[in-house]
Every structure is written in structure tokens, then in C-alpha cells.
Amino acid sequence: MRRHNIQLDKNGRLRHFLTIEGLNRKLLVEILDTAESFSGVTAQSIKKVPLLRGKTIVNLFFEASTRTRTTFELAAKRLSADVLNINVAASATSKGESLLDTLHNLQAMHCDMFVVRHDRSGAAHFIAQHVAPHISVINAGDGRHAHPTQAMLDMFTIRRHKKDFAPLNIAIVGDILHSRVARSQIHALTTLGVNEVRVIGPETLMPADVEALGVHVHHDLREGLRDVDVVITLRLQHERMRGALLPSEHEYFRLYGLTEEKLALAKPDVIVMHPGPINRGVEIDSAVADGTRSVILEQVTHGIAVRMAIMSMAMSSRANLEGEII
């Protein structure tokens, strides 16, 4: 029996956005196309569209974030929604109230969507399984598991520069083991049909079963960068590391830090990406991060349009569901 995907309604439309795993290429392309339609809103004198007017979106962040929370807030406001930012450190959950009690209280305030960031893998799925039918849940990052909106804004950025995914060779460099972004990127890239995904990093920062995701593993950065079209560097996730996985940051930069010299092995029109925040002189040299091939700030800009697309698509599915219930 085919397992039901909690993210989709019975017509295959987006209800929640929890992970890219299990979603098909058609839906990912629809997200990218919808984001393209929103990308011009920023250039307007009034940076708003009325699609979610009257809806209330709650940013429920159990883990610190600036870039992700801010872009979600801007995206919601540009869709004309009301936004509630919950300071979890000062909320009732820190006083012993259970997560479910917190959710039920928020539901009683007639909220329509939860954007959830949590340090536990699976937290967004858990919340999606327990919210009322009219509420959508968007995963803004959960533990080591997934960061699907970050991956989709990365896909949007790649498509803007490279147009077609099919011929691309893409390298993801760094702390693959602890990176929820890398997992979501790999699922997105393979679903969109790129030619090759390479993961590059030391053995201590590489998941044992990563090849099962359809990637090629390299432990030598120079070898892995040869003839790639896109390089995505990752932040070292020190907060999730247990034990001495690296001799030193200096040694890591010597072996795996992205410099102009190493980047010269890639294709001449290569683009360089980073989900942020950047650790200069650790994962990437400033000359590369600020160079002409860097699209890192574009990723941040595109994050607003992509998150607008995902929220509007999920709420559109909810509107159809409410119509069926009525």
C-alpha cells in the first residue's frame, strides 16, 4: 500500500511543507514558477499582494535564527498576512507547558499557519500531525533532518543563473553529517534531475550512508571541484558536533576552505553559494564570498519570493479544503 504523504491533500496540492523528500518534480517546479511570479513584488512601490489578507501566520521558533525568521516575516507581510512572532525562550513552554498545550492555545486564537524551527529532528512533522485541519505547517529547519525552504531558494537561485538543471554538476562542500540544508538540497537536486551531485568533505563529517541518496562522495576538494557548475559551501555545525571531529579550523580551511585557487578547477561560469551565516576564513575565503561568482546575497533576496510561494500554495490548499467542508 502506498504511504500517504502528510504534506499533500487528496488532490496532490501542498498542505504542509515539511521536507522535500517524497515530493515530485512537478510540485518543485510549481514552487519555483510561483516564486518567479512573486519576485517582482519587491520592485513595486507598494511591496504587497492581498493573497493572505485576514490570515494569521505564527513564527514559532524554538531555535535561534535571524535570516530565516526575518525572511519568513517579510514574506508573510508581503502576502498581507498578520504575523505573530513567538519568543519561545520567554513563552509558557519554558515554564513547563507541553508543546501540544502551546499549539492548542495558539489554535484557540484562530491562527492559520505555523512556521516552525526546532532543534529536534521531526518536530515539524509532529506538529503537523497534531494541528487542526485548517492549519498549515511550514518547516523552517528541524535538527539535522531538513530545511526545505532553504533548499528551494537555493534551487531558485541556481535556475536563475543556469536555466536548466539537467546538465549540471553540483558540489556541496563541508559538514554534510550535521547539515539539514545539505539533505534537503540533495533531495531537491536529484528530484529536479541534475546530472551529478557531489558531496565533498572529511570522512568525519560525512554520513556513512550518504551514497544511498544518489550522490558521489569526494574527500579531496580539488578532485571534487573539477568541472562543476555550482559550488555550495556549508557552515561547520559546531553546536551539533560531539567529540573532536576536526583537528582545527585552520587545518579545515587548508583542506576544504574555498579559495580562488581551488575554485579555478571548476567551470569558468561557476557560481558560489552558501546558506549562511558565513564563517570567513573557515569555509570560504572573503575573496570568493565577495567575488563576482558569488550569489550568496541573491540567495537571501530570493528567499522572500520562495517563501511567499510556499505559504501561498499551502494556504490555497487550505482554502479549497475549507470550501469542501462548508
Please indicate, yes or no, if residue 12 is contained in any of the structural domains: no
Whether residue 156 is found in the same domain as residue 115: no
Residue 63 is assigned to a structural domain of this protein: yes
As a whole number, mean pLDDT of residues 308-317 equals: 93
Which CATH number characterizes residue 55's domain?
3.40.50.1370
Whether 124 and 223 map to the same domain: the answer is no
Same domain, 310 and 273: no
Same domain, 155 and 135: no
User: Are 116 and 229 members of one domain?
Assistant: no
Same domain, 168 and 260: yes
Share of the chain above pLDDT 70, in %: 90
**Quick one: pLDDT band at residue 97, thresholds 50, 70, 90?**
low
Average pLDDT, rounded, for the chain: 90
- 54, amino acid identity: G
Residue 15 in any domain: the answer is no
Which grid coordinates belong to 139? 518547516
Residue 19 lies in a domain: no
* pLDDT tens per residue, range 127-154: 999 999 999 999 999 988 999 999 999 9
Kindly state whether residues 289 and 170 are assigned to the same domain: yes
Long-range CB contacts for residues 68-71, cutoff 8 Å, separation at least 24: 68/117, 68/140, 68/141, 68/149, 68/150, 68/303, 69/117, 69/140, 71/300, 71/303, 71/304, 71/307
Residues 98-123: tens digit of each pLDDT = 778 888 888 898 999 999 999 889 99
The three-state (H, E, C) secondary structure of the chain, written as one string? CCCCCCCECCCCCECCECCCCCCCHHHHHHHHHHHHHHCCHHHCCCCCCCCCCCCEEEEEECCCCCHHHHHHHHHHHHCCCEEEEEEHHHCHHHHCCCHHHHHHHHHCCCCCEEEEEECCCCHHHHHHHHCCCCCEEEEEEECCCECHHHHHHHHHHHHHHHCCCCCCEEEEECCCCCCHHHHHHHHHHHHCCCCEEEEECCHHHCCCCHHHHCCEEECCHHHHHCCCCEEEECCCCHHHCCCCCCCCHHHHHHHHCECHHHHCCCCCCCEEECCCCCCECCCECHHHHCCCCECHHHHHHHHHHHHHHHHHHHHHHHHHHHHHHC
**156 and 285 share a domain?**
yes
pTM for this entry: 0.91
Q: Residue 70 falls within a domain, yes or no?
A: yes
Q: Count how many domains the chain has.
A: 2
Average pLDDT over residues 235-239: 70
Mean of pLDDT values over 196-211: 94
**What is the span of the domain harbouring residue 46?**
25-146+301-319
Length of the chain: 326
pLDDT grade, residue 301 (50/70/90)? very high
Is residue 208 scored above 50 in pLDDT? yes
Q: How confident is the model over 63-74, as a mean pLDDT?
A: 90
93 lies in the same domain as 184: no
Examine the domain organization and report whether 86 and 117 are in the same domain.
yes
Q: Is residue 254 part of a domain?
A: yes
Q: Is residue 266 part of a domain?
A: yes
221 and 284 in a common domain? yes
Residues 67, 98, single domain; the answer is yes
Q: Quick count: other Cβ atoms within 10 Å of Cβ 249?
A: 15
Which of residues 156 and 249 earns the better pLDDT score?
156
Alpha-carbon distance 272 to 258, whole Å?
A: 9
279, pLDDT greater than 60: yes
Residue 279 lies in a domain: yes
